[in-house]
Structures are given as structure tokens and as C-alpha cells.
Structure 1
Amino acid sequence: MGMPLLNLSRKVDFLEQGNMKQPNQAKYRVQKLQYLPPLSATATRLLGMLGDDSFTLHDLAGVINQDPGLSARILGLANSAYFGQTKPILTLEDAIIRVLGLNMVKSLAFSVAVSGVFESDACSGFDLQEYWGHSLSIAMLSRQISLAVKNEIQPDADGIYLAGLLFEIGVLVLVHEFPEEYARVLRVSKQQPDQDRLELETEIIGIDHRQAGIWLGHRWHLPEMVVQIIAQGAGEGIDSDNHCDAVLVGNVAEWIKSPLPTESKLTQPLSGLEVKCRMSRQQLDTIMTDFLGKQEEIHMIANMLAK
């Protein structure tokens, strides 16, 4: 997309120089993040397959089948009502060929494997199913919109889907590393729903989940497009006026709140996509109405992935 990546060392310097309300706390938080667990072997192998067309569906199925829990989740997704299959999907190869496609399975399997690195049970009030419902909704709606765009340069629908799944990955980082503090974030956020979540995270923890996601993306060498889109969501000085890819996921994430949106929210933040992605309001409304009709299916998939 041609957008510059966020200079992570500058962000860390910014934190350590005390440009937040609690400089010592911010510096401690950044240093503590250095000890996060590495990617699992399965996630590492899946990461190597992202964006690499030389891997076959049999290669991908072979990696996923080594993790029974991951394999069961992918098969469960392929058999879910969301995709409306009339015959049961019994193998990963069938799931890839008949339902999901190679790139979607790569993205979904990698995202599930990545999330498994983080422990969330110690954070009171954190709902992993809600997290997955939010992430799936961002990914699915973003991809659906990207497929309808008719620009000269088409958005990368598969890259957008992966970026949507990982857009909120920084939440898992903070829940894992600062469970008590994030439990407080959740409590205050519930009591004061109009307060900005990112500002609240910064006030209580010292960094917000967008910054944590950017940091993690660099550390784990996530695809450049994913880190760029998370950075765009963090408002990191990227001139994205001509990049539908850059703004699509962030706009969708802003529109999709938890609990999931209702009809009354249909025309809010997504209006900016009319210009940047050259889509009509009627197109967007049609896509979003269809999306809202699939909330029950998305909820069921999220429950499956959270187990």
C-alpha cells in the first residue's frame, strides 16, 4: 500500500521520556512487554505461510492437523450456519476447497493460534467469546466491503480479513500481562460507557491496546499490512486519503461496538468509506444489513473459537 510503518523505537522512546501522565509506570509497562511468550510452533509455521502462494492446501492442512484443537475449530467454522453448507465438512481439505478457501483458512488458523499464546482467565470481567465476536465481525464485514469495492486498485480482501482478525490483538496482550489493571479498565468502562477506551487504558495501564498491538506486530514480524492498519487505527500519522485498505478496517472497527451494533447505528462512521473506497451509501447499507442478519451465526462461531 506504500504507507510507512510506525517507527516503534520512536514510540518506545516517547513512552520512556514520560509523555504520559505516569512516566515511570509507562516505562515499566513497555519493559515488561519484552517478556511476553513467543509464538507457538504452529503459529510460527502458519505465519510463514501467510502471503506465500507456494504452499498447497495439503501443506496447510498438515500443519493445522498437528493441533487437534485448532483443527476442530476450523472444521466447526466450515460447518457453521454462517456458510450454509448442506453436506457436512469432514476434512480440512474439504473445508478449504468447498467453503473457506486457502487464504481465509491461513488467516483464521493463524489468528486462533496466536490468541492461544495469551492467558485471559486471570482478568476478571474479560470475555474471550466477546473478543472473538468483535474480531470476527471486523474481519468479516471488512472483507465483505472490500470485495464490493470497484476501484482501479482493488483492496487486498485476504489481507484485510487477517488485519480485521488481529486488529484488537493488543487487548489480549494487556489482558495477559496486566490482568488486574485491565479488569479495572473493564469495570470503569462499564460504569462510564462514554469514556474513550484507549484513553482509559493509557490512564490505568500506561499504554493502550493499539500501541501494544503495534509493538507485538513488530516483535512477532506480523505481515506489514496488518501492522500498518493497526497503526492507522492508532492515528499514527499515515496519509491514507487514497488508501481504501488503510481506513477500511479502522472504520469498520469503530462502527462495530460491543455489544454488536443495531440498525440505529447503520450510517455512522462508515460514511467516510463512500469517498475513500468510492462506494455509495446504498451499497454500504445493503452490505451492513446483510451483515446484521448474521449476528447469531457470528455469535456461535465466536463461542466455538473461545473454547
Structure 2
Amino acid sequence: MMMSTDMATHIALWNLSSAFGRCREAPHPITDIQALIRANDDLPPLPEITRRLLHFRDDPNANATGLAEIIELDPLLAGQMLRWANSAYYGLRQPTENVRDAIVRALGFNVALALALALAALRPLETPNQGPIGRDRLWRHGLQCGVLMRELAAGLPDDRRPPPGVIQLAGLTQNIGYLLLGHLLPDSFHLLSRLIERNATLTLPALDRLALDVEHGQLGQWLFEVWDMPPALQAVVRHHHNPGYEGEHATLVLLTALADSLLHDTQRGLGAPPIEPHTRERLRERLGLDAEACALALERMRTPEDEE
């Protein structure tokens, strides 16, 4: 039997009160959170390597050699690229110890650039690793979402299909608002984590509003505005829970929303529904994808993390 929205909200409010009882401080009002994000003293700057990668992405002469040279400036980033390239997912006969080789033989230029950008951008945000919105869960979910989005996009006309690298990067960075919350307001982050764990009916944005009076998409957009990130990524971060979004980057936003919803149904989401279940059909219709196409995309998707 389906629980009514009013009943689900009542239970969520009770759980919020219970969780708040063990929290050291009250959730910050939305104005306080926005002020913290916009205050340079509290916000980590966009990492220099991320800035370099963004400029490199816009270079018409960009190639694997140039990308490898930038990645190799950061040993941790280079090591992660090699770990993925040498995973069973890519099936290299001989392991590689060379970043350029990893890009050419395994990852591919677009995916390697997206992975490098996401890793570099997310790293300065110090957030707990565990929990439904912890760093580990968000990263794995982002990888899975990006891969599923690319599978879904394969069924779109060429003129509607976003570039593979942009798709992967959108999947990886969509929930950066949660990481920012954990970095700036750890008590509010833990409170929201407990609320998500206790409520399987209300959507993630609804739980955000109950706990914080602001959605994580709004937090992420504020950060991406300060960092001057590309408009397409800002749109995804802000609207990936909005099936009715009709802005300039609608296809990318809707692909993200649909992939999130499909992953939730296969227990690979973040615990609570990303959208209201009845809006899924509208998402598919707007993208021109039927239920069979979605099922096939789910069957085909694999990530390097799944093969470890």
C-alpha cells in the first residue's frame, strides 16, 4: 500500500526532530548557507589543475599527449587514471604505467578528461566518506550515472546527443552540493544523512528542504557560479531533480534525471527517490526513449568500479 505524501512528510518531520536531538547545532537558515558559500574565506578555491583542464578542454588542438602532461602534474590524479585503465573493465592485455598510454589504449580522451576534471574539482571538499551522501557513495553513483547516461544517449538523434565527456562529467558532479554541505556544515550534513536513511518515500529534494530549507542542487549551483564552471554543468547541478526543466541544456539535465531514477530502482541510488516515481514516464517521453530502451541501457552499463 502506497503511503500518502502527507503521512510521509509527517514521519519525516518526526525523524528530523529525532535526528536533530543528537545534532550539536541547528540547521543553518538558507541565508546563512548562501553567505558561507559566497564568502571566500570559507569556500575552497577552484583547484588550479581544474582551471587548467577547463581551459585545455576548450583548446581546438587538445590531444591525449597534452592531457597526460596536465594530469601528470598531480601524482594522485595520475595514479587514479592508471588504476582505472588497468582495471578488468578495460581488459588491457598488458598493464600500463604511462598516463598517455592509459588515455589512448583504455579510457579514451573524452572520458579521461571528464574523470580528471571531476576528481580535481571534488577533491578540495572535505566530506565524510561514509553514509548515503558520503564521498564514496556519491563517487560510485556518479560513475554509474555517467555510464548509464551515455548508454541512454546512444538512443537519441545525433543532433540531440551531448558529447560523451560532458555526459560523464555531468554525472560525476551533479551532487557536488552534498559535498559542499559536508565541507562547510558537517553537523547539518550528518543530520541530513540520518534523515535520508530513515525515509524511503520522500524525494531527496523534499528531504533537503525539510532539513535545510534549501536543496543540494541550489548549494551546488552557488558553488559552480563562484567557480565559474560551464553553464551546462551548472544547469545539471541545479535542475537534475526537475523533470519539467526546459532550459538550454534540457537534454543533458533530463538524461541525468532519468539515469538517477533508473539507478534508484536498481538499488544504486542515494537511498531516497531522486524524483517522484510518476514523473519517470514524462522524462522518457521528452527524451523519446521507451521502457525497453531504458532496460537495455541498464543491462549494458558497467563501470571500472564494478569490476574491482
TM bucket by the smaller chain?
0.7 to 0.9
Change (3 A) 1:24 1:109: closer
- Contiguous gaps of at least 5 residues in structure 1: 1-21, 302-307
Secondary structure at the aligned position of 1:38 is classed as coil
Shift in CA distance, 191/243, structure 1 to aligned 2, threshold 3 Å:
closer
Give the one of 65, 70, 89 matched to 1:82: 89
The residue number in structure 2 matching 1:49 is 56
The CA deviation string for residues 262-305 of structure 1, in whole angstroms up to 9 with x for no partner, is xxx9x9865445433333433322221122xx37x53467xxxx
For residue 29 of structure 2, give the secondary structure of its aligned residue in structure 1.
helix
Instruction: Report what 1:215 is aligned to.
Output: 222
Change (3 A) 1:290 1:272: farther
Is residue 2 of structure 2 the alignment partner of residue 30 of structure 1?
A: no
Deviations along 1:207-241, one digit per CA (max 9) or x if unpaired, are 22100111112111111111122233253974259
Q: Identity of paired residues, percent?
A: 23
* Structure 2 CA distance for partners of 1:248 and 1:123, relative to 1, 3 Å: closer
Confirm or deny that 1:275 pairs with 2:285.
yes
Which of 93, 98, 102 is matched with 1:91 structurally? 98
What runs of 5+ residues in structure 2 fail to find an aligned partner? Answer: 1-25
For 1:104 and 1:70, locate their aligned partners in 2 and report how far apart those are by CA, in whole Å: 14
Distance 1:285 1:181, change over 3 A: same
Answer yes or no: is 1:288 the counterpart of 2:292.
no
- 2:268 matched residue in structure 1: 260
Distance 1:186 1:286, change over 3 A: same
**What is the identity, as a one-letter code, of the residue corresponding to 2:62?**
F
Shift of the 184–283 alpha-carbon distance from structure 1 to 2, 3 Å rule, reads same
Whole-Å Cα distance in 2 between the matches of residues 272 and 72 of structure 1? 42
What letter is aligned with 1:283?
A: A
Q: Which residue of 2 aligns with 1:201?
A: 208
TM-score by length of 1: 0.78
The aligned length equals 273
Within 5 Å, give how 1:129-278 maps onto structure 2.
Answer: 129-235=136-242, 238-239=245-246, 243-257=250-264, 259-260=267-268, 271-272=281-282, 274-278=284-288
C-alpha spacing 1:165/1:289, structure 2 compared with 1 (3 Å): same
Does structure 1 conserve the Cα–Cα contact (< 8 Å) formed by 2:245 and 2:254? no
Deviations 1:75-117 (A, max 9, x none): 1111112222222122111111111121211111010011111
Cα deviation for residue 46 of structure 1 reads 1.3
